[in-house]
Structure 1
Amino acid sequence: MRSLYVIAHPEATHHIEKVVGGWHDSHLTPTGRLAAAAIARTLRAQIPRGAEVEVISSDLRRARQTAEEIAGLFGVAPVLDRRLREKSYGEAEGRPQEWLDRRFVPPPADGDRMGHHEGVRGAETRGECARRVHAAMDDILERPRTHQVVVTHGFALTFVVTAWIRMPYASLGSVSFRAPSGSITELREDDFFHNRQVVSLGAVGHLG
């Protein structure tokens, strides 16, 4: 059996400062650090002692801090992969959220949602974000591990899950998996049928 635990990093400074995240390199707040410790303890209690555990994380500081907290309890070093970063919002990053809201061009209900440009210079399209996250997941899942922890961001998490369930690219235009900050999503593949399950999505019970 293979288990993958997908972590949406907990509260970071851009959340409370109400600025745009994306590739803006914010860090965990004190509340976020407590949540990261709770995530680590929960995973330590859930994953059998002696199991080989790999921790892979976005290289952005808020995700890296979360991964370091988790990896520390398992005695490993996190593997950083910039392809697990949040969607880039280009020149909006680090600016007030209302600055982005005034300029944001929402995607159409139908048509080319993956290639839609949101009106902000330097921002990624949905499709660009999806492709790099799927590429990262292809590499992660090629490695023979029974337990892997992937630390990423709220928007990018959707594409971690779609890569896991092998959802075709053409189907990604409207899909969205909601997972709150600090949540744990558990994915599992059984040894017999090799079915890939979404066991839980965005669980937050460990946060109290």
Structure 2
Amino acid sequence: MRTLYVVTHPEAKHHIEGVVGGWHDSQLTPAGVRDAVSIAQALRAHVPDGAEVELFSSDLQRTRRTAEEAAELFDVKPKLDRRLREKSYGQAEGKPQEWLDRRFVPPPAVGERLEHDEGVAGSETKAAWAQRIYAAMDEILQRPCEHQIIVTHGGSLTLVVASWIKMPIESVGYASFRARPGSITTLREDDFFHNRQVVSLGDTGHLDSAKAG
């Protein structure tokens, strides 16, 4: 049995400043740090005591800081992988969201979507984004560990899940799996049929419980 816990980092400064994230290396807010603690505690409650755990994370500050909380509870060192980053928005990164909105060219309903030019210099295509996430996932899943944690970004979650269910890259142009910041998505593969389940998508119950407490 293999279980993956895919974490979307919690609130970061670009969320509250209204600027474009992508590869813009913003830090977690104080609220985001508190949520990272809740995420780590929720993960610890789900993984059996004594089980081997591997932890992978995007190398940007907001994901790395999130991963550090889980690393401390599981006594593991995060494996940082730049391929798990969010989509790059090129020239738009760190600029006001409205700057990007004025220039952004949405993909067509029918036609080329993976190599679509969004009208922003240096912006990554969805094809390039998908290829690097799929490559990272291939390497993670070649490892025999039964409990793996992946800390990534809200947009990249779609491609992690698509890779998990073996969706062909040529089909991901239409895929979208949405989740709030600070969510945990649970993926599981059984030992008999080797079916790959999406057990839960974008769960934030751990955040709601922390706020209620």
User: TM-score normalised to the size of structure 2?
Assistant: 0.97
3-state DSSP of counterpart to 1:172: helix
Corresponding residue number in structure 2 for 1:168? 168
Q: Distance in 2 between matches of 1:100 and 1:170?
A: 26
Q: How does 1:165-204 map to 2 (within 5 A)?
A: 165-204=165-204
Is residue 2:100 matched to residue 1:100? yes
Q: What is the aligned partner in structure 2 of residue 50 from structure 1?
A: 50
Q: For residues 131 and 110 of structure 1, what CA distance do their matches in structure 2 show?
A: 21
Q: CA deviation at 1:92?
A: 0.4
Q: 1:23, 1:10 → 2: CA distance?
A: 16
Opposite residue 89 of structure 1, the aligned amino acid is: Y
Task: Give the superposition deviation at 1:179.
Answer: 1.1
Match of 1:83 in 2: 83
Aligned to 2:41: 41
Structure 2 residue aligned with 1:110: 110
How far off is 1:80 after superposition? Answer: 0.2
Q: Report the counterpart of residue 8 of structure 2 in structure 1.
A: 8
Stretches of structure 2 that go unaligned for 5 or more consecutive residues are 209-213
With normalisation by structure 1, the TM-score equals 0.99
Q: Alpha-carbon deviations, 1:134-178, whole Å to 9, x = none?
A: 000000000111000000001111010011110111211101000
Kindly provide the amino acid, as one letter, of the partner of residue 110 in structure 1: V
Partner of 1:25: 25
**Structure 2 Cα separation of the partners of residues 137 and 24 of structure 1:** 23
**Where has structure 1 moved over 3 Å in runs of 4 or more?**
none
Alignment-derived partner of residue 156 in structure 1: 156
SS of match in other structure, 1:180: coil
Point out where structure 1 has 5 or more consecutive residues left out of the alignment: none
**Which whole-Å CA distance do the structure 2 matches of 1:188 and 1:79 have between them?**
21
Q: Distance in 2 between matches of 1:156 and 1:87?
A: 7
In 2: Cα distance, 1:110 partner to 1:134 partner: 24
Aligned equivalent of 2:211:
none
RMSD between superposed Cα atoms in Å: 0.5
Q: Once the two structures are superposed, what CA deviation does each residue of 1:59-94 show, in whole Å capped at 9, x if it has no partner?
A: 000000000111110001100000000000001000
Identity of aligned residues (%): 68
